[in-house]
Chains A and B, each alone.
Chain A
């Protein structure tokens, strides 16, 4: 097709949705994330401590859940190198009991397309409840 402006046609369109994906969260992954990120807050590893401060159980780092959303956005964008802006609100903790694999389910919709960028609205739920709010990723088109 002739493209008089010379601009590359985007493969993304506003309103486009993507196949939802679920990623596992386990106590072992939280320990790996704590070591990799340096965030050693015991509420993310120690059940006794988490309960002593009024939490139902060990909870995932909000930044761990956001990182999973970043992985999902990177898959849609084609590479993690394409992500330019990324934001999220931590609305509800992901509770991770011992010996259980908890799944966080991600879905996304394109909210804006320009010649240079694509904006995604991402939804993250765990057991049917939203765990992140206002999750948006902007990536290079």
Chain B
């Protein structure tokens, strides 16, 4: 069970991530996307899922039981090589449905003051 006090709180990771061309190219290659000038639209997950995992595990959630239920991105501008992204994550909701805990985590990626992309991951913790 998730510690209920953590719902609604925002955690900003201390370190920022510098996006490399190698990381964009490797991601694009794996999915067959020919354009490597910008990151593919789901690239943000390479940063946000990791940060969500850290946040949820530190909040008491059993990650080994987690299944990805749904996913949403809002992209202000494409991620490009050289971006220095900081990630802040908020547990937006946690509820029980038929014995399974369903948690939605929002993660915002900023380059300096500029919001680049937001990601919402809904995770199902199997009972």
Contact = CB atoms under 8 A, between A and B. Distances in A.
B31 A67 contact: yes
Interface string A39-75: 1000000000000000000000011101110110110
B35 A74 contact: yes
B95 interface: no
B54 interface: no
B41 A86 contact: yes
Interface stretch (A9-17, A76-84, A116-124): A76-84
B71 A62 contact: yes
Nearest to A71: B33
Contacts of A90: 67-71
Interface of B is mostly: mixed
Nearest to A134: B70
Interface stretch (A28-36, A94-102, A107-115): A28-36
Interface in B36-81: 37-42, 45-46, 49-50, 67-75, 78
A77 to B, nearest CB: 10
B99 interface: no
Contact of B46 (A36, A79, A86): A36
Given A38-B50, A74-B35, A85 B73 contact: yes
A88 B120 CA distance: 11
Interface string B4-45: 000000000000000000010011011111010111111001
Contacts of A83: 41, 75, 78
A7 to B, nearest CB: 23
A52 to B, nearest CB: 12
Interface of A: 23-24, 29, 32-33, 35-39, 62-64, 66-68, 70-71, 73-74, 79-81, 83-90, 134, 137
